[in-house]
Structure 1
Amino acid sequence: MDNGSNTLDFCNLKVVSALGRGAKGLVFLAKINEGQNEKQWLALKVVSKAFVRMRNSSHCKRVSFEQQILRRFNHPLLPQLRGVLETEELLGFAIDYCHGGNLHSLRRKQSEKTFPVDAIRFYAVELVLVLDYLHSLGVVYRDLKPENILIQETGHIMLVDFDLSKKLNPKSPQLLSGISSPSSDSALLVDRRKRLLPGCYCCHSGIMPLDSDSQLGTNSPARSESDSVEKSNSFVGTEDYVAPEIITGEGHNFGVDWWSLGVVLYEMLYGMTPFKGVNRKETFQRILMKQPDLSGENTPLRDLIKKLLEKHPDRRIEVHEIKCHDFFKGVNWNSVLQIARPPYIPQNDVEDKAGFSRKDVESFVRKIFFKNDNKEEKPKEVEKKKINGANQNKVYNKNQNTVWVDKLTDNPTQNEDFLMF
């Protein structure tokens, strides 16, 4: 399928199950029913038109922005827009489905709920590359967290969910270089996403795979980010991962993504986020006032985390310093994607089930976002509940911002985690 030019329709689209929920939309596992793409699994993100209309105008803009930005991507660690869908009730778009779930779920499957250092280095390298590429486009991501870092069937990551991202206009002409396309290496790798990448940059990590029933599914110029780009004053992000300057409202730029990377690396190393409090107020207070507890031997990884979690954005480590840090010693940034061997390769089997109709999907979306099917009432905030007859012991986990769904009367999911993203 061409990038986003394909119009999807429930007549040729087979929707198999629900994968996750966000603030404004739902993600379904789907596939094309005909033609050469019949075996290609897709993640179909849909939003309710009625729900978006009830929110302020910024929500409409974000829905449009995410589609627009997906059309621009040409990078092996970012999704490609595979098609768009529209009905009287829904707007949607499809990207490639990632068989390996997300980094949060993969970490929780590890025996110590943490990753070995070699595995952390592998994922850190790829996160630095993809954030650097986004920043070269003038895009600040603003929602980096393990739930948004998916694992492709090759074992490489894919960063998803761009509805909180923002375009910042570079003030320095040098920042515009590299915007039109990624490096030739990255462009080449886009066509190789379906292949396992052999290589010599190995991670002998002992990564434990997800359970079989879990279907979660360019070097830019050196720059002083704080001096060279405009700032945003929006308050966005997931509370454990937001940078201090977002909390204070003093304006933020690309540096917030590097802060969030520090939180993600800390979580991969210690199995928890560094500033978690008993409630949002305490979490924010710790982000502003508390230094991260980097207990253990003084290592390059801990030093990198410390520099990423610098509270003052003007003193926080930036991309060129990150790439030169001792933790990445020996990494060839121009070719690492071609020679890196992922620490975990997921199984690619997806159970093909009977599909659901447009009516089924629309009914499911209404039940998730509205109190009942008949009225467009103001949707509730995410609350502690079980959905449509779920009778096992999975409930809304407030600490993890996750909704667990076991059974749905109209749209039974696979036995899998139903994620908030």
Structure 2
Amino acid sequence: MVLNVFGRRDTNISEESKQFLNSLPSTFINLFRKRRQLFPVWSSNKYCAMIKSTYLVYYRVTKTDDANERALKYMNLLKCTIKIIDDDTAGYVFCITPENGKGSIFFAADNEKDRAKFARQAAAVQRQAPSVNDFETLKLLGKGHYGRVILARGVADQQLYAIKEMKLNQVKAKVVYTERSVMEWASSHPFILSLDYAFARGKSAFLVSKFMPGGDLFLHMQNNGGCFNEDAVRFYGAELLLALEYMHSMSILHRDIKPENVLLDVDGHIKLADMGLAKRLDSKTGRTKTMCGTDTYLPPEMVGRHQGGHGLPVDLWQFGCILFELRAGYPPFYIPQSSQKSTHQRILYQSVRYPNNITKDFKALLMQLLEKKQEERLGFENGFAEVKKHAFFKNIDWDKVLKKQLVPPLIPGPAGDNLVNNFDPQFTEQPHKIYIAEELSAYERDFAGFDYVRQSEERGVATGSSASVKDTSDEEGDEKPEVELDIDAVQIKV
């Protein structure tokens, strides 16, 4: 069996692209033997082979494996031919050949099942990469400094999507890479906006997600008299808490939690969106020092440039801010027409003035979340698991929350014939067309591995892939591998 793909011309992969690929989750990982290139003999060492985005990333495994000393190799599978080879002497062999026909790599799996899994996953990424032409743009949904969000319909599946377009000459590549990476890591949670497609074309990068017709919490808060009652706050807070807890389990810091970034689906359940300022830390206690976010939601450790930087407790502070705002109608340190400096001064030194119409339990929760010293903030030691135990959430059945079995406090109104009744008309009436130059831009060449198609949960392969490989192994009869692989952390025990 041969899988052929005719990709775009080869480009050198930059160090920044390598760092991006290394940050992505692996959709396949296993150990193979590899045939030496200079002499046609098989190496005694095992090689760790991973598929990240459209790339094969592999390295030689040693008993004293050090992640910082791995000599990683990269090959774009979109430009390769993969051939299954019958070789009884070497095992379950397959060959990967670059588009130019030079430098073929031979791997051997321990069993047919592992070889078939690799071939099947390679087939999943060997498909026509998504493009702007796969979508019909309908309306502009929002606009910001670095780009815009456009409502579009998929030409093939007729589903509605929200396309986030970012201008690569206006935003740092690292920011685009980070958002793309974080969205792939967090896409599987029911309360986080999933990434369906990603691609870089011309001078723009595009992140495509399912359209959420319900608009955002800020809009509904304004339409609901300016704020929500405590029961509604508890509902939205519970769903948001689970989304943030999931992100924190992977050491991902959001850093921009506010009502505008919490969307509602057609049934009224939330989707946490906008990972543009998110960051994946080295560990749950990791720190970073970049000051970013929306002024009125910044925590004291960020505003005060804490010497040790900031980490996951930032989201605990912002979780308190959004709960406060949903009930009061404004953020805890907000004053109209206030300067950035005065806002920062209030965050650092002023006590929060709590509304009189909140319950004792709710006020206690807010006070513990809006603790200026991050070490004393609720959740500093054990994260959102501590917050879940607070009296404010005492009657919450967390399993029912996760399964979306609680009744939402409001059901978004009909999207209307124009589909955007729940969005701000100041944007929806603006032009929405996407224009891409036909020639390959320098920006596009630099974004190696950016393309993405969401995996189909039912089939285990990328949606839209027409290639398939028959798995002839016996699921029950295969022996367990002698190595343990952690597909996320890429920890290998030899």
TM-score (ref. length: structure 1): 0.66
Report the Cα offset of residue 48 of structure 1: 1.7
- With 157-166 and 272-281 compared, the bigger mean Cα shift is at 272-281
CA distance in 1, matches of 2:280, 2:147: 21
2:412: which partner in 1?
346
Q: Quote the sequence identity (%).
A: 30
Q: 1:321 to 1:410 in 2, by over 3 A?
A: closer
Once the two structures are superposed, residues 246-267 of structure 1 have per-residue CA deviations (whole angstroms, 9 ceiling, x without a partner) of: 0011111111101011111111
**Separation in 1, partners of 2:430, 2:418:** 18
How far did residue 294 of structure 1 move? 1.3
Provide closer, same or farther for how the CA distance between residues 329 and 411 of structure 1 changes in structure 2, counting only shifts above 3 A.
same
CA distance in structure 2 between the partners assigned to 1:147 and 1:410 by the alignment: 21
| 1:144 maps onto 2:257 in alignment | yes
Which one of the candidate residues 389, 398, 402 is aligned to 1:337? 402
Deviation at 1:91, TM superposition (A): 1.6
Question: Which protein has the bigger strand share?
Answer: 2
CA distance in 2, matches of 1:243, 1:13: 40
Distance 1:348 1:76, change over 3 A: farther
Structure 1 residue 261 corresponds to structure 2 residue 322: no
**Counterpart in the other structure of 1:46:** 165
**Deviation sequence 1:157-200 (CA, Å, 0-9, x none):** 00111111111122xxxxxxxxxxxxxxxxxxxxxxxxxxxxxx
Which of 209, 216, 229 is the equivalent residue of 1:116? 229
Q: How does 1:262-281 map to 2 (within 5 A)?
A: 262-277=320-335, 278-281=338-341
The 1:408–1:154 alpha-carbon spacing in structure 2 relative to 1, beyond 3 Å, is: closer
TM-superposed CA distance for 1:21, in Å, is 1.9
Higher helix share: 1
Determine the structure 2 residue equivalent to 1:252: 310
* Residue correspondence of structure 1 range 22-421 to structure 2 within 5 A: 22-34=144-156, 37-38=157-158, 40-52=159-171, 59-73=172-186, 74-111=188-225, 113-170=226-283, 229-250=285-306, 251-277=309-335, 278-296=338-356, 298-318=359-379, 319-338=384-403, 339-349=405-415, 351=417, 404-405=426-427, 407-408=429-430
Q: Quick check: which has more Rg, 1 or 2?
A: 2
Q: Are the counterparts in 2 of residues 246 and 252 from structure 1 also a CA contact under 8 Å?
A: yes
Question: Which runs of 5 or more structure 2 residues have no equivalent in the other structure?
Answer: 1-26, 28-51, 54-124, 435-494
Tell me how far 1:79 sits from its aligned partner: 1.8
Cα 1:49–1:350 shift into 2, 3 Å = farther
Segment of structure 1 superposing worse, 316-325 or 340-349: 340-349
Could you tell me how far 1:89 is from its partner in structure 2?
Answer: 2.6
Check the 8 A contact 1:66/1:162 in 2, yes or no. Answer: yes
Q: C-alpha separation between the residues in 2 aligned to 1:13 and 1:298? A: 48
Stretch of structure 1 that moved more, 330-339 or 15-24: 330-339
Q: Distance in 1 between matches of 2:281 and 2:133?
A: 39
AA aligned to 1:30 is: A
Distance 1:101 1:334, change over 3 A: same
Quick check: 1:85–1:93 contact (8 Å CA) kept in 2? yes
Deviations 1:340-377 (Å, cap 9, x if unpaired)?
11111224545359xxxxxxxxxxxxxxxxxxxxxxxx
Change (3 A) 1:411 1:93: closer
- What SS does the corresponding residue of 1:65 show, helix, strand or coil? helix
CA contact (8 A) 1:7 1:83 kept: no
What does the per-residue CA deviation read over 1:54-75, in whole Å, with 9 as the maximum and x for residues that have no partner?
xxxxx20110121122222210
CA contact (8 A) 1:25 1:45 kept: yes
Q: Secondary structure at the match of 1:50?
A: coil
Shift of 1:281: 0.8
Shift of 1:18: 1.0
Matching residue's letter, 1:333: W
Q: How far did residue 81 of structure 1 move?
A: 1.5
Report Cα offsets for 1:25-63 as digits up to 9, x if no partner: 2110011112xx21x1111011123323xxxxxx20110
Q: Decide whether the 8 Å contact of 1:99 with 1:347 is kept in 2.
A: no
C-alpha RMSD of the superposition: 2.4
User: Residue deviations 1:2-33, cap 9 Å, x none?
Assistant: 99867332333100111112332211001111
Return the alpha-carbon distance in structure 2 between the equivalents of residues 268 and 159 of structure 1: 15
Q: How has the CA–CA distance of structure 1 residues 87 and 287 changed in structure 2, closer, same or farther, with 3 Å as cutoff?
A: same
Question: SS of the counterpart of 2:399?
Answer: coil
Q: SS at the partner of 2:170?
A: helix
| Secondary structure at the counterpart of residue 69 of structure 1 | helix
Rate the CA distance shift 1:50–1:320 in 2: closer, same or farther, 3 A. Answer: closer
Give, as a single letter, the amino acid of the residue that structure 2 aligns with 1:70: M
CA contact 2:140–2:430 (8 Å) conserved in 1: no
Picking from 129, 141, 146, the partner of 1:19 is 141
Rounded Cα–Cα distance in structure 2 between residues aligned with 1:231 and 1:406: 39
Instruction: State the AA in 1 paired with 2:193.
Output: P
Question: 1:278-334 CA deviation, whole Å, 9 max, x = no partner?
Answer: 111111100111111113255211111111100000000012221111100121223
> In the alignment, residue 11 of structure 1 is paired with which amino acid?
N
CA shift in 2, pair 1:405/1:349, >3 Å: closer
- Partner amino acid for 2:312? F
Aligned AA (1:344): L
Deviation at 1:85, TM superposition (A): 3.3
- Structure 2 distance, partners of 1:169, 1:103, is 31
In 2, Cα distance between equivalents of 1:27 and 1:132? 27
Paired letter, 2:314:
V
Q: Distance in 2 between matches of 1:332 and 1:410?
A: 42
Conserved 8 A contact 1:124-1:265: yes
Structure 1 residues 101 and 322 mapped into 2: Cα distance closer, same or farther (>3 Å)?
A: same
